[in-house]
Amino acid sequence: MFRAVQKIGSVVQTVSRQSLRCSAIASTTVRYGHGQVNTSDTYLKKIQSERCDGWMIRSVINDLQGEDFVAEPELVIEAMKVCRKLNDYALAVRFLEAIKEKSSTNKDIWPYMLQEIRPTLTDLGILTPEEMGYDKPELAKRDVFSM
């Protein structure tokens, strides 16, 4: 009986050693991936990839809107090209609206952004929210004191 217990103990030791090795490899992989920082270059690579579809562009735009910075004009231009390639005009206009809203803290950002992306917008046939009339509410009531 003692030999059977000893044999089971050696099997348990072997299995536990193998599982420890596997968990060490898995934990180093997790640690390696944990420190990844998304920069504009990372977002640009995702957008420019051939596999970029509607889900991926929405994911990148969502991540960009969650960051503390306003996206660079080069990144916005590439996003507009992908939106046009995917025939998603609404997403392009919505992204422009989000950039305008995000840049509302500094009034110099939105005119600069428009200046940089204007040639691309005209080439792709994308109107800005102001050109479409989205900057003013459609059903707003007039001020009674100004009548």
Same domain, 80 and 127: yes
Q: Give per-residue pLDDT as tens, 46-70.
A: 888 888 899 999 999 999 898 888 8
Q: pTM higher than 0.75 for the full model?
A: no
Same domain, 16 and 54: no
Question: What total of structural domains would you count in the chain?
Answer: 2
| Burial per residue of 17-54, b for 16 or more beta-carbon CB atoms within 10 angstroms, e otherwise | eeeeeeeeeeeeeeeeeeeeeeeeeebbebbeeeebee
Report, as ranges of residue numbers, the positions in the chain whose pLDDT lies below 70.
Answer: 1-38
* Cβ atoms of residues 95 and 63 within 8 Å: no
How does DSSP assign 28-65, residue by residue?
A: HHHHHHHT----HHHHHHHHHSTT--HHHHHHHHHHHH
Rounded distance, CA 131 to CA 113, Å?
15
Residue 146 included in any domain: no
Domain containing residue 52: 40-132
Same domain, 58 and 126: yes
Same domain, 24 and 66: no
Same domain, 18 and 55: no
Q: Name the token pair of 88.
A: 């998603």
